[in-house]
Amino acid sequence: MFKLIPETHIDFMGKRRIFYILSISVTLIGVVSYILHGGFKYGIDFSGGRLIEIRTSTPLPVDHVRAAAADAGFAAAEIQRSGQGDIFLIRIPVASDQKGGALSPSAVLRQDLAARNPGLTVELLREENIGAKVGKEIRNQAFWAILLAWGLLLIYVAIRFEFWFGVGAVVATIHDILMTLTLLSLLGREITMPVIAALLTLAGYSINDTIIVFDRIREELVKLRREPLINVMNISINRTLSRTMITVLTVLFTSSMLLVFGGPVIRDFAIAITFGMAVGTYSSVFVASALALDIRRGREMKTPA
């Protein structure tokens, strides 16, 4: 039998204050980063705007593309060069509602580039345009969706376990999402719809590890009636540690491959999900169980038997 993690007897619950401090510090870093960056950097699907990605037949200096963009009337465009210097991502912060009959910005840009560089062909890889109104709608929807998911998860875990376990589990997923947002903010990545998809998946999945631990605590509580709650929790966490690790490991195998090989279109998604999954495992042990313990203890002290 091959075992990744030997039998452990770690006093997780006794050290929970250290982890509270750690989690709160990271959250504070996130808040500071959020303030310093002036809020989240939203992708155009949330802020409204236009995104054009083109590939040129030969590499071009980024200045050429910038000048062409300015000529086409997009002086405020943000331009990223990638590939072998032949792929350009042009982000125009202002949405432009396009009526029929007018030439699209990408067409203007491509014509302009081709005119400046004889012999050059410019291929449109993708173009997205989202009106400011729609962007705001999508942003609101994403916000409500996350709240709704939290609410439903809280109800489900509360029904299956008990209310305070549900609170612990949901606070843990809130924690995971905050940590992931902190990382995205520090890396300067954008919040886009795929990132929201990753955050929602995370909320549903990272609660799994918590469920594994809680399920075990429930079982051990029956078996070890004489033991104090804190010991029961420690035993449960130690006994489920290897499966908690292995289940998240298998998901990390696939999500990290998406990150490495999946290409730029799903990179933000892969970053969010890979990092969030790892944090989720940490939080199910150090946040969810610890909170459930502290909340229950507090209540027990208030209502002496």
Partner 1 sequence: MGSNFRWKLLSLIVLVGLSIYALYPTIRYYSMSEPQRKAMDPKALGDLRADALKLGLDLQGGMHLVLELDRSALRDEEVPEAMARAIEIMRNRVDRFGVAEPSIQRQGTDRMLIELPGLLDKDRAINLVGQTALLEFKLVKNDQDGHRALERLDRVLAAKQTAGAPADTELIGLTHPLTELMPYWPDLPYGGSFVPEADIPKAKALLTSVNADSILPIDAQVLWGKTSEIYQGTSGRILYVLDRRPQLTGRGLASAVRRVGGDATRPNAASVSITLNAEGTRVFRRVTAQNIGRLLAIVLDDQVASAPRIKERIPTAQASITGSFTDEEAKDLATVLQAGALPAPVTIIQEMTVGASLGSDSVRRGTNAALIGAAIVVLFMLVYYRGSGLVAVVALFFNMLFLFAALAGMRGTLTLPGIAGLALVVGMAVDANVLIFERIREEMAAGKKLRGAIDAGFNRAFRAIFDSNVTTMISAGVLWWIASGPIQGFATTLFIGVLANLYTAVMISRMIFDVYVSRPGVEKLSI
- Does residue 133 interact with partner 1 by CB under 8 A? yes
Query: For residues 213 and 284, is the Cβ–Cβ distance under 8 A?
Result: yes
Residue placing its CB nearer to partner 1 in the complex, 16 or 139: 139
- Does residue 97 interact with partner 1 by CB under 8 A? yes
Angle at 195 between CA 138 and CA 183, to 5 degrees: 125
CB of 50 to partner 1, least distance (A): 9
Residue placing its CB nearer to partner 1 in the complex, 70 or 260: 260
d(CA 23, CA 28): 9
Site for partner 1 in 139-168 (CB under 8 A): 141-142, 144-145, 148-149, 152-153, 156-157, 160
| Long-range CB contacts (within 8 A, 24+) of 131-135 | 131/48, 131/95, 131/97, 132/47, 132/48, 132/49, 132/95, 133/48, 134/48, 135/42, 135/44, 135/45, 135/46, 135/47, 135/48, 135/49, 135/95
Binding residue for partner 1, selected from 2, 9, 118, 119, defined by CB under 8 A? 2
Binding residue for partner 1, selected from 104, 117, 174, 224, defined by CB under 8 A? 104
Query: For residues 223 and 201, is the Cβ–Cβ distance under 8 A?
Result: no
CB of 27 to partner 1, least distance (A): 22
d(CA 182, CA 37): 11
Binding residue for partner 1, selected from 254, 297, 299, 300, defined by CB under 8 A? 254
Residue placing its CB nearer to partner 1 in the complex, 33 or 77: 77
Beta-bridge partner residues of 80: 89
- Does residue 71 interact with partner 1 by CB under 8 A? no
CB of 256 to partner 1, least distance (A): 8
Residue placing its CB nearer to partner 1 in the complex, 33 or 113: 113
Helix or strand or coil: residue 191? Answer: strand
Stretch of 1-9, 25-33, 72-80, 289-297 lying at the interface with partner 1 (CB under 8 A): 1-9
- Does residue 296 interact with partner 1 by CB under 8 A? no
Nearest to 198 by CA among 272, 252, 281: 272
**Which residue type, as a one-letter code, is found at position 239?**
R
Structure tokens at 117: 């560089």
Residue placing its CB nearer to partner 1 in the complex, 93 or 262: 262
- Does residue 193 interact with partner 1 by CB under 8 A? yes
Site for partner 1 in 197-216 (CB under 8 A): 197, 200-201, 203-205, 207-208, 211-212, 215
What is the C-alpha radius of gyration for the chain, rounded to an integer number of angstroms? 25
Binding residue for partner 1, selected from 19, 93, 247, 294, defined by CB under 8 A? 247
Site for partner 1 in 8-37 (CB under 8 A): none
Residues 6+ apart with CB under 8 A from 4: 242, 245, 246
Residue placing its CB nearer to partner 1 in the complex, 17 or 126: 126
